[in-house]
Every structure is written in C-alpha cells, then in structure tokens.
Amino acid sequence: MKIVTVVGARPQFVKMGPVSRALAGRHHEVVVHTGQHYSARLSARLWSELGIGAPDHNLRVGSGPHGAQTGLMMQRVEQVLCAERPDLVLVYGDTNSTLAGALAAAKLHVPVAHVEAGLRSFNRDMPEELNRVLTDHCSTLLFTPTKQASANLRSEGIRAGVHHVGDVMYEQARRTLPAAMERFDRLARRLRIAAGDFYLATIHRAENTDRPERLAGIVHALVNLDAPVVVPLHPRTRKMLTLFGLEGRIRSGGMVRLMPPVGYVEMLALEREARMILTDSGGVQKEGYFVGTPVVTLRDETEWPETVIAGWNVVAGTESERIVAAVRQRRDLRPIQDYGGGVAASRLVRVIDRFGKTSQP
C-alpha cells in the first residue's frame, strides 16, 4: 500500500520512528510534516537522531490560532493527498496536525489509522482532548497503547478496528537509551550537576504558561526544591516568564539551570539520571517510567492513569505546596504491563498488512 504519514510536532517524530522502520520494505510511506513545530535545526537534528529520513513534504504551516492553524493544515494536507492518492493515512497523538490529517483524509474517503488512540484526560478544555476524540471517531484503524485506552473507545461506542498494540514510544526509548547514556557526562559538566542529584522539569502547556497564577506556582515550587533543577526551556515558556515578571524569580538562588531545548537523545539522558522529573508533558510522563525515574505531573489530570496506579507518577497540579509534597512522597513502584514490551510497531504493521490484503481490489 501507499501510506501517507502526517506529523507536525516533536513527540510525533519520536512515535513515527519505530513505525517507519517497521513499514520499510513492506509498504510505500510518504511522510508529510505540517510544520507545526517549525525549527528547522531542531527538526533536522531529531530526524537524524531517530535514524529516519527527511519528510517528503513540508507544509510550513507554523504557529497560529487553533482554528486558523488547523484549517490551513487541512487545506495543504488535502492537496498532498489528492496528488499522492494513498491507500491509508497514518496520524499520531493529539496535536492539531493529527486532527487536520485525519479530517482531510476522512473527507476524501481515505481510511485513517490513529496511533495512540483512545487516550482520555476527560478535560474538554484541553485542545488535545478534542483532537483525540475527534480523530478517533473518524478513524478506521485505532492502535491503542494501553488496555484502558481500548476500554475508553468501547465506552464511546467504538469497537471496530481497535487494536491494543502497546506503546511505540517505549520501543524508541529502549532503542535510544544506550546512546543517550554516552551523552550524560558532557551534559553534567555543562550544567554542573551529578547523576541522581538533580531534578528535571519541563513546562510548555498553554494551560500553565498562559495563566500567571499557575506558572507562578510551578516556579515557586522549583526554586524551593532541595537540589538543582534543570529546565530545558520552551521558547514560549521563556516569553511568558518574562511577561509575567517571573524570570528573575526562577533565576534566584542559582538552583534552577535554564537551558535551550535539547535533542531527544540528550533529553533521555537527563530523564534517566534525574532524581525525579516534573512535567506537564504527556510523553515525558511515560518516558519517566521507560527510563526508571519517578514523575510529578504539573497538571490536574493525566491521560496516562496506569503510571499513577503503578506508583511512577503523582498528579500534583500547579500549587507549589502540592508539588513539593509530591516530590517528597514515598513511592511504591510497580511494573506496567500494558506498554507492550518494545514490540508495538511490529504488531501495528502486521495489522496494517492484514488491512491492506482485505481492502485492496
């Protein structure tokens, strides 16, 4: 089959890596990058780190309001689909690129396969939640990372085409971790940290960065932790820290080490050697488990409840006292079976193989 893969954000590139390798030699994949994350330097570096080629189409949509961004993506994805005439469109996760790819394909009657289907935070104020729900309801193949995700789909009346394959990010993390560990010593010297004696924090979600009281709560917690805190800082977060007058506060005392965004390999190295991870990222919550580091989630809910049940994740919100208490909380850490043991991509591609045999004339 000819398969068009639509991606646009850094976590989607990571998820795509194992699947693209599994598709190679079996199907013809055409990769479309919407340009939602548009740093050419960071994107090119990530493609190289993941061992995948550059995209076949770069739509260069860039940032903007949700409606305008999603609409422009749909328009440009539709043009590619009309030119490529694929048998299947593959989308990942929950970004505007995901929804645009799925809607453009569905309106052209091209089957959609959604990787990481069925996740729910049950917070419809999050644009990601709307993207997940809408994408799932127009998909033909739904690849779930956990059994809970499959159950979420059943509760919404979606039963056909649902396949629990495991988590493709787990597969990529296992593949990359040995190379990541070779990078840590250099990072440690640069950041003046030691393995197991620092925290790692990431903050990027609009619900946190755009609300001064939430961002201030996170900052207050970080500067009151008992070890250095490494913060690879999203450009938008840096802008909001300055806007809300919090940049001086986060730099006070010298415990917080602000740094530019890092590549995937360096990020895994920092995650693996951190004492604990504090994050509002969905993917980083899982990566903490993948590398064996407990996580505190800086949100009021999570789409990964199995990480909480197994003790690896505490959902703390953004009040500083709750965050600090969550960092100090004792954990009973247990293994998570749902993620598939690092073979999710091959399971997924076998389903696509069967689908191709039954759908082709």
> What are the boundaries of each domain within the chain?
2-167+340-359, 179-328
DSSP state, residue 2: E
Q: How large a percentage of the chain has pLDDT more than 70?
A: 97
Alpha-carbon gap, residue 333 to 310, rounded angstroms: 6
The predicted pLDDT at position 38 comes to 58
Quote the crossing angle between the two packed helices 168-181 and 282-291, to the nearest 10°.
60
Identical fold between 2-167+340-359 and 179-328: yes
Alpha-carbon gap, residue 169 to 14, rounded angstroms: 7
Catalytic residue at 28? no
Burial category of 85 from C-beta neighbours within 10 Å (exposed 0-12, middle 13-18, buried 19 and up): exposed
Under CATH, which architecture does the 2-167+340-359 domain have? 3-Layer(aba) Sandwich (3.40)
Q: Using pLDDT thresholds of 50, 70 and 90, give the confidence band for residue 341.
A: confident
Mean of the pLDDT values across residues 221-247? 94
Alpha-carbon gap, residue 22 to 16, rounded angstroms: 10
The predicted pLDDT at position 43 comes to 67
Q: Is the pLDDT of residue 361 over 70?
A: no
Q: Using pLDDT thresholds of 50, 70 and 90, give the confidence band for residue 54.
A: confident
Q: Is the pLDDT of residue 41 over 60?
A: no
Q: Using pLDDT thresholds of 50, 70 and 90, give the confidence band for residue 48.
A: confident
Mean of the pLDDT values across residues 334-338? 93
Q: How large a percentage of the chain has pLDDT more than 90?
A: 86
Catalytic residue among 33, 204, 220, 234: 204
| Least confident stretch, 30-39, 117-126, 240-249, 289-298 | 30-39
Q: Is the pLDDT of residue 45 over 60?
A: yes
Mean of the pLDDT values across residues 169-178? 94
Mean of the pLDDT values across residues 194-201? 98
The predicted pLDDT at position 284 comes to 97
Contacts 24+ apart (CB under 8 A), 319-322: 319/217, 320/217, 320/218, 320/220, 320/221, 320/224, 321/221
Q: Is the pLDDT of residue 179 over 60?
A: yes
The predicted pLDDT at position 189 comes to 95
**Which of 89, 33, 41 has the alpha carbon at shortest distance from 61?**
33
The predicted pLDDT at position 332 comes to 96
Q: Using pLDDT thresholds of 50, 70 and 90, give the confidence band for residue 37.
A: low
Alpha-carbon gap, residue 117 to 105, rounded angstroms: 17
**Which of 85, 75, 20, 73 has the alpha carbon at shortest distance from 46?**
20
Q: Is the pLDDT of residue 360 over 80?
A: no
Alpha-carbon gap, residue 309 to 106, rounded angstroms: 36
Mean of the pLDDT values across residues 14-32? 96
Q: Which CATH superfamily is domain 179-328 in?
A: Glycogen Phosphorylase B; (3.40.50.2000)
Mean of the pLDDT values across residues 41-66? 81
The two most distant CA atoms of the chain are separated, in Å, by: 68
